[in-house]
Amino acid sequence: MVTELGEFLRSRRAAISPEQAGLVSYGARRVPGLRREELAQLAGVSPTYYTRLEQSDQHQASDAVLDALARALRLSDGEREHLHRLARPAGRVSTPRCARPRPSALMVMHTMPSPALILDHTNDVVAWNRLGHLLLGHTVPYELPATEERPNLARMLFLEPGGTALYADPDEAMRTMIGFLRYSSGLYPDDQRLSRLVGELAQRSDAFAQVWAEHPVADCGFGVKRFRHPLVGRLELTYEVMRLPESSLRMVVYTAEPGSATHDGLELLARS
């Protein structure tokens, strides 16, 4: 029986070599990565126990065992959280608390001197300020987030003609986007809107389907985004995410180092 937990564990086993895990590899390997018995050894459990964990949805893995597996697989913090959620499906939230952003949150976003936008758990754009629109949505009307046809950053990236052209490293952008959707699907496993989005992207984009099958997971709470903007050229922006209380919404704010070429580029973009 194939389970989501089993698929995730297999994908992580395939992504780490015995040498990376501190083991000595003997003999030819038919598949990349760690064997089940090797991961079981590293985590301090029996191969039979680990195989049952990977192949069955009837398991009682303790937090200690899950943490041991996470250490052996060198999971990131986001991947570790995802592992625990997959192993505890009864404790997951079926659907997100969908809420409109409070007027005060919108006021904060619109007073930001930097690009800012509010996203939901599917990466639908709920709102953006003018500079956020110019950065990420200059090809669509500014008013679109206020309609029933909200722009979705994943659809824009994978399905729109030239959607990847906005990013200096399209492969990194695609992997990050898919990593967040995987993270979100772990939070909200029964959300139909998210499931429909993933299904649509997998059917219409071979690139999405290929990377989705690799099970990348990323919370995307902060980081760096590199753009190749058609109006102002290359931009390297840091971003921070602020979770809005009592909802599944988050505000993303992009900033540039004062005096940098990117800062000058943003000022030029603001005058567009």
Q: What are phi and psi of 62, to 5 degrees?
A: -80, 165
236 three-state secondary structure:
strand
Residue 71: how many other CB atoms lie within 10 Å: 12
Question: What mean pLDDT comes out for the span 115-126?
Answer: 96
Q: What is the mean pLDDT of the chain?
A: 90
State the pTM of this model: 0.85
Domain of residue 47: give its range: 4-91
Q: Which of 91, 111, 133 is the last residue of a domain?
A: 91
Residues 213 and 117 in one domain: yes
Residue 123's pLDDT is 96
Please tell me which residue, 37 or 110, carries the higher pLDDT value: 110
CB 117 within 8 A of CB 42: no
* 96 within a domain of the structure (yes/no): no
Mind listing the pLDDT tens digit for each residue in 148-191?
Answer: 899 999 999 999 999 999 999 999 999 999 999 999 998 888 88
Both tokens of 105, joined, read: 């949150």
Span 220-261, pLDDT tens digits: 899 999 999 999 999 999 999 999 987 889 999 999 999 999
Q: Which of 91, 118, 137 is the last residue of a domain?
A: 91
Same domain, yes or no: 265 and 136:
yes
pLDDT for the residue 237: 98
Predicted pLDDT at 240: 97
Show Cβ contacts of residue 26 under 8 Å, excluding neighbours closer than 6 positions: none
Q: Which of 118, 89, 121, 88 is nearest to 102 (CA)?
A: 118
Specify whether 122 is located in the same domain as 59: no
C-alpha distances (whole Å) from 59 to each of 9, 43, 137, 201, 217 are: 14, 16, 45, 32, 23
Q: Are residues 149 and 221 located together in one domain of the fold? A: yes
User: Are residues 61 and 172 located together in one domain of the fold?
Assistant: no
Residue 99, pLDDT > 80, answer no
Q: What is the CATH number of the domain that holds 142?
A: 3.30.450.180
Q: How far apart are CA 222 and CA 224, in angstroms?
A: 7
Note whether 162 and 190 are same-domain residues: yes
Angle between helices 4-14 and 47-55 (to 10 degrees): 120
Residue 92: the pLDDT is: 59
**pLDDT at position 198 over 90:** yes
pLDDT, position 227: 97
Q: Give the pLDDT score at 30.
A: 74
Condensed to tens digits (0 to 9), the pLDDT of residues 66-94 reads 999 999 999 998 899 899 888 876 655 55
Number of domains in the chain: 2
* Residues 67 and 45: beta-carbon distance below 8 Å: no
CA distances from 54 to 22, 64, 70, 124 (A): 22, 16, 14, 33
Report CA dihedral (222, 92, 3, 36) to the nearest 10 degrees.
60
The answer on pLDDT for 58 being more than 70 is no
Residue 241, SS3 per DSSP: strand
Over 60: is that where the pLDDT of 1 sits? no
